[in-house]
Structure 1
Amino acid sequence: MQSTLQEELELEKSVRRLREKFYGKISVEKAVLLMRNFVNNHDQVCRYIVMCKDELDAIGPDEINSLRNDIAAMNVINNINNDTTPQIQTTTDNDIKDIARQLKQLPLTERNLKMFDNASVNCIPSEDRQFACKDCDKMWWRRVPERKQVSKCHRCKRKFDPIPRDKMWGIAEFQCMACNRSFKGHAQFGVASPCYNCSSATMPSRILPPRRNTGPRSRNQHSCYAVDCYNRKEPHVIGLFCVHPRSRARNNLCKVLLGSEPHFSTGSTVATCLSQGSLTQWDLDDIIMDDINEDREDSDS
């Protein structure tokens, strides 16, 4: 029983990853068949699709029908299809020849060339983005696919778009233009902080995702020009708000400075393997498992 469950989980992880690599152009059934034929070997499957598109025509419908006798394969197909909106199922044919036709007919756009290049090297392009649920007062970072950036709040189970880049907040990196000193501190884009060295007003250059602590903490005390900063620097600016946790707590403000916009699905995405990856807790396999467990919890509730 345990080995069967593990087999299903490994197959489901492989299928989700393969579909994301090809932007959902491969149906669940076809992805399962390919992974079964190549024993979940992503390198071989991707090379087969990219380099042997013409040979896909030799695969007939009987092979797909053979999955009906494969309990693990059928469970994976049902699990993923239950997570997927009807619009996502872009193919309705009954044989794998359509994969070859679709891929051979794709225009040579930069996006499609990038898809094949990434698939050939077993790569899913991703980006670290910040999300926040205002109602749950919860902020988190997730590594999400570049082409579809969405994440789910673990408390209320609602899906959100990322915080706009020009509104992000947290630990920021600064580069003082006056003395050329680099430093870090709490900030939001658009809110200046004084340089620890020369006190010149310095804007953050980027907001950093959370990482495991790799060294001693800085002894420099936070300070900014926001009107409610606990260590306010003059002249303060009315209308700006300090993002430092101490200032937020002292003023009885919630932790979330700006909530993410709710995500409204367009039906163009697939159940991705990266959508719920915590940057500080999980490696890639654990990220996929996190997605699978969440989807099954939702279906049971």
Structure 2
Amino acid sequence: MTYRVPARTPLGMFGRTQKDVVKTADAVEGSFVYRHAPKAVRPYLKLARMDRPVGTWLLLWPCLWSTALAADGALTLHHAYLMLLFAIGALVMRGAGCTYNDIIDRDFDGAVERTKSRPIPAGEVSLKGAWAFLVLQCLIGFLVLIQLNVFAIMVGLGSLVLVAAYPFMKRITYWPQAWLGLTFNWGALVGWAAVRGSLDWPAIILYAGGLFWTLGYDTVYAHQDKEDDALIGVKSTALALGAKTRPAISLFYGLFIFALLGAGILANLGIIYYPVLAFAGLHLAAQIRRVNIDDAAVCLEVFRSNIAFGWIVFAALILGQAVQ
């Protein structure tokens, strides 16, 4: 559902505003963006997906998991400080990525029912304003990144190529979700590098496994748009897999749990890590059972449930470090 109040007031280079803004189709009910944020900035908060925070969590979790995995014992204030930096970085860089994606995909978004309410196709933010907002977010992200050690900074900068290329993947391959997995799980490398100043096998395995996690949850998410995507020529794993989605995400999630198991063994986590990890596996199994690829509301619900899954894995890692 969307709503629009027709009265608009020009905002110069930053586009146009309204008495109220268009509510994004899959925004979180009761989001602060629509309840408390000043109306002049609401289109920009929407552009950064602040009304849909699940993507920030999905970008943040690999950073937090890797930081905990690299701790080599109970977590300290230094680890907590790094996690705070990653939280800020995930918030602004997810926003920057979404802004960039919406700039590139503005014509596609206007043709898809779920995305036509985004600020650029809805006329709430001009193209020039979107570029200015993107630069601002990237500057904040850079200030966060330079708080890390030199090696971690170099690793972090390595993600920029993946981010820049991602919006174009849906034009050339039915597996853009795999590229998103490479991009969204980069924090698994940065987190370890920030703690250890190196890259080692536990982080690499966590990163590789995260690719399959993203393949699973974003395939479910893509089923919301499959009819529109087919009409306008946009590719996705939802279209590629179709009725085979359930067995495919079963394989993807199984490979991810196996990667978490291997990373824990290589990092010498305590025995308690494994029963809690088994509980995380049950959570993914519940997702697989719950998903209905022909029900967009259920797909969104299953997708969002990965926030809770992230907390379970995080708890497993902290306990595994504390009880060795």
Q: Shorter chain as normaliser: what TM range? A: under 0.3
Using structure 2 for the length normalisation, give the TM-score: 0.23
More helix by proportion, 1 or 2?
2
Q: Which has the larger radius of gyration?
A: 1
TM-score by length of 1: 0.24
Bigger proportion of residues as strand: 1
